[in-house]
Amino acid sequence: MPSGSEDSMEEGVAPPLRITPLKTVYEDDFLIGNVVPRQYLSEDETYVLTTHHSAATAENAMKPQPLQPDKGNFKFEQADAIVNAVLAAGMKMHGHTLAWHQQSPTWMNEEGVSREEAIENLTTHARTVAEHFRGRVISWDVLNEAINDNPANPADWRASLRQSRWYQTIGPDYVEIVFRAAREGDPDAMLYYNDYNLDNRNKALAVYNMVKELNEKYPNVGGRPLIDGVGMQGHYSLQTNVTNVEDSIKRFGSLGVEVSVTELDVQAGTDYELTETQAISQGVLYARLFNVFKKYAETIARVTMWGLNDDSSWRSERSPTMFDAEFQPKPAFFGALNPTVFIAQNQKGGSKSAVKQAQVHYGTPKLDGNDALWDSAPEIPVNQHLTAWQGATGSAKVLWDDKNLYVLVAVHNAVMNKTNANPREQDSVEVFIDENNGKTGAFEKGDGQYRVNFDNEASFNPASIKSGFTSVAFASGAVYTVAMRIPFKTIKPANGTVVGFDIQINGASPQGMRQSVAMWNDLSGNSAGDTSGYGTLKLMK
Ligand code: 9MR
């Protein structure tokens, strides 16, 4: 930058107007990171990355598949080029990731690979890769996404582990095995457990219990406990409950480990479009999150965004980043840059996300779906995907009477698979109810999740809400219809009563794993334990 600005001012020329880089605003608090999506970046991408960020993560290049596609054949060229370019730009590099259930070569842990062999494959990969980048990365996501969503019993973290191939071939001790191998390979790098939806209380508790137990078991591996940090990915939406995010940061911090926000984005638009109101709401959410991050700056080491602009983001159709397709800063950028001022300026229009509301008619229909009473009920679309995979969608109708809520859902494009023993992996419909519309961070009485698959098998969360529930299901081709009768438990409904409500459609893959999730309103990913993102029904007589 030219240094003659004082002279220029004396000559009456205005100094150049510059926005302070995001990394400078937070330099006393934490590193500001973003992804390197591929080896060669455009000029605009390089500009945004190096101007505003002090740290980088390779979006894909350091995952197991690209680094060791065949056994013993390590391919470091691309990753090396990325790491070296990041370091040459004066930034820090973070490694992502040594063990994951995705983007990993099948030879490592496929059917037929013994436990011993799988352990050997896991340790060799983690140790070799960590060793290779030793001195060049500050930290590693050693293990990525190993805990189930909203686990039922987080006190038992082993029972909360995802049934991944690593789990199936090795068992729960694969967790400590991979951390120990990483520490061996690079004793200086900070070793992280990394996951999404850690604003979900149950998932956060399972992670907390896992890190606590393993650090108590291994208090001194090369001079310190085994696990150094928890990475909260932070794939958020306008419904994200910032208090839940804060609670989890506090909870992990209490373990004495550092916390990083590792993949921050906030989905807010649809079909690659972001309205002005959505852009402001998104800015407000970024601002509220950064206010929380600043408050916990002692605990937080790094805040990394997952996408240099909306165009290259993994969720580009929902415009989740701080820069638009032309690399212009969005309100989200200014929300992060100066949260307090942004919130004060935008409190009116943008502080709340638009919660969808459906008006519901009074009536007691037959559950077979043929009752003419359903005809006049307004349609509720269930077509916003939580997942990158755009699978089954549907539409719903709702009626109410003094005792029950009646829900009819027609699902399209289903593959009709229920081979997985876990009901949530099957093609199914879920209805979420928050009777007093309390929008609480955890389920209370009157809250519940009702799941029915295409074969009319029902499951409940909590199990106690089962009583009085009835359902029917009818499947034909790629379409199935589910009707439910759900008794009210804590309220006496009347004209004008507002009930928190949402619908989810789970789409299974032909292999029987859930591959898509479509919602009516709540895009937080936390509906199964947190009612704050639900839409609402207005009961009309
Ligand atoms: O952003 C990544 C995208 O380019 C890849 O196609 C995808 C493959 O699964 O992984 C994306 O990044 C993921 C990250 O590695 C782990 N957390 C979830 C991220 C978004 O899917």
Take residue 141 and report the two structure tokens written for it: 């996501």
pTM to 2 decimal places: 0.80
Output the CA 419–ligand 1 centroid distance in Å.
26
Q: Alpha-carbon dihedral of residues 144, 150, 155, 159, nearest 10 degrees?
A: -70
Take residue 474 and report the two structure tokens written for it: 């009818």
% the chain with pLDDT above 70: 95
Output the CA 59–ligand 1 centroid distance in Å.
7
Q: Give residue-wise pLDDT tens across range 277-298.
A: 999 999 999 999 999 999 999 9
Cα angle 512, 514, 518 (rounded to 5 degrees) comes to 140
Is 8 a domain residue? no
Beta partners for residue 451, in sequence order:
430, 459
Q: Is the CB of 314 under 6 A from ligand 1?
A: yes
Give the end of a domain, one of 303, 324, 349: 349
Output the CA 68–ligand 1 centroid distance in Å.
18
Q: Is the CB of 102 under 6 A from ligand 1?
A: yes
For the cut 60, the answer to whether the pLDDT of residue 134 exceeds it is: yes
Output the CA 314–ligand 1 centroid distance in Å.
7
**Which of 416, 442, 413 lies closest to 508, judged by CA?**
416
Is 461 a domain residue? yes
**Which of 180, 261, 174 lies closest to 225, judged by CA?**
180
Q: Give residue-wise pLDDT tens across range 193-217.
A: 999 999 999 999 999 999 999 999 9
Is 7 a domain residue? no
Same domain, 191 and 336: yes
% the chain with pLDDT above 90: 85
Q: Is the CB of 263 under 6 A from ligand 1?
A: yes
Q: Is the CB of 59 under 6 A from ligand 1?
A: yes
The residue-averaged pLDDT of 128-147 equals 98
**How many whole angstroms separate alpha carbon 264 and alpha carbon 32?**
11
Under DSSP, is residue 340 helix (H, G, I), strand (E, B) or coil? Answer: helix
Same domain, 82 and 177: yes
Catalytic residue ranges: 145, 195, 263
Number of domains the chain is built from: 2
Give yes or no for a contact between 533 and 522, defined as CB atoms under 8 angstroms apart. Answer: yes
**Which of 288, 329, 290, 285 lies closest to 309, judged by CA?**
329
Query: What's the pLDDT score for residue 7?
Result: 43
Same domain, 362 and 341: no
Give the end of a domain, one of 349, 365, 384: 349
Same domain, 275 and 384: no
Query: What's the pLDDT score for residue 12?
Result: 63
Query: What's the pLDDT score for residue 350?
Result: 42
Please tell me the residue having the least CA distance from ligand 1 atom 6: 314
Take residue 519 and report the two structure tokens written for it: 């919602």
Q: Alpha-carbon dihedral of residues 18, 20, 22, 24, nearest 10 degrees?
A: 140
Query: What's the pLDDT score for residue 252?
Result: 98
Output the CA 235–ligand 1 centroid distance in Å.
11
Same domain, 365 and 284: no
User: Residue 54 sits in which domain range?
Assistant: 22-349
Query: What's the pLDDT score for residue 15?
Result: 63
Cβ burial, residue 308 (10 Å; 0-12/13-18/19+): buried
CATH number for the domain that contains residue 132: 3.20.20.80
Is 399 a domain residue? yes
Is 38 a domain residue? yes
Residue listed under structure tokens 């309390």: 438
Same domain, 342 and 386: no
Ligand 1 atom closest to 102 (CA): 9
Q: Give residue-wise pLDDT tens across range 20-54.
A: 899 999 999 999 999 999 999 999 999 999 999 99
Query: What's the pLDDT score for residue 523?
Result: 85
Is 16 a domain residue? no
Same domain, 177 and 324: yes
Mutate-to-test residue for ligand 1 from 60, 141, 237, highest number of ligand atoms within 8 A of CB = 60
Cα angle 340, 49, 315 (rounded to 5 degrees) comes to 80
Same domain, 271 and 307: yes
Output the CA 133–ligand 1 centroid distance in Å.
21
Query: What's the pLDDT score for residue 2?
Result: 34
DSSP string computed for 351-365 = SSPPPPEEEEEE---
For the cut 90, the answer to whether the pLDDT of residue 19 exceeds it is: no
What pLDDT band is residue 473 in, cutting at 50, 70 and 90? Answer: very high
Same domain, 322 and 455: no
CATH number for the domain that contains residue 365: 2.60.40.1190
Please state, in angstroms and as integers, the Cα–Cα distance from residue 306 to each residue in 374, 387, 404, following that order.
Answer: 43, 15, 43
Take residue 489 and report the two structure tokens written for it: 């438990």
Mutate-to-test residue for ligand 1 from 97, 192, 314, 513, highest number of ligand atoms within 8 A of CB = 314
Is 305 a domain residue? yes
Q: Give residue-wise pLDDT tens across range 228-259.
A: 999 999 999 998 999 999 999 999 999 999 99
Is 5 a domain residue? no
Ligand 1 atom closest to 307 (CA): 1
Cβ burial, residue 503 (10 Å; 0-12/13-18/19+): buried
Mean pLDDT of the residues in the chain: 93
For the cut 50, the answer to whether the pLDDT of residue 61 exceeds it is: yes
Give yes or no for a contact between 448 and 431, defined as CB atoms under 8 angstroms apart. Answer: no
Same domain, 285 and 397: no
What pLDDT band is residue 353 in, cutting at 50, 70 and 90? Answer: low
- Label the pairing between strands 479-487 and 235-237: unpaired
**Which of 494, 468, 465 lies closest to 402, judged by CA?**
494
DSSP conformation class of 108? G
The residue-averaged pLDDT of 490-503 equals 97
Mutate-to-test residue for ligand 1 from 97, 263, 517, highest number of ligand atoms within 8 A of CB = 263
Query: What's the pLDDT score for residue 16?
Result: 62
Q: Is the CB of 60 under 6 A from ligand 1?
A: yes
For the cut 80, the answer to whether the pLDDT of residue 369 exceeds it is: no
H helix or E strand, kind and range, residue 500: strand 498-508
Query: What's the pLDDT score for residue 387?
Result: 74
Same domain, 380 and 319: no
Same domain, 334 and 382: no
Query: What's the pLDDT score for residue 3?
Result: 38
Query: What's the pLDDT score for residue 388?
Result: 64
Query: What's the pLDDT score for residue 26?
Result: 98
Give the end of a domain, one of 332, 349, 366: 349
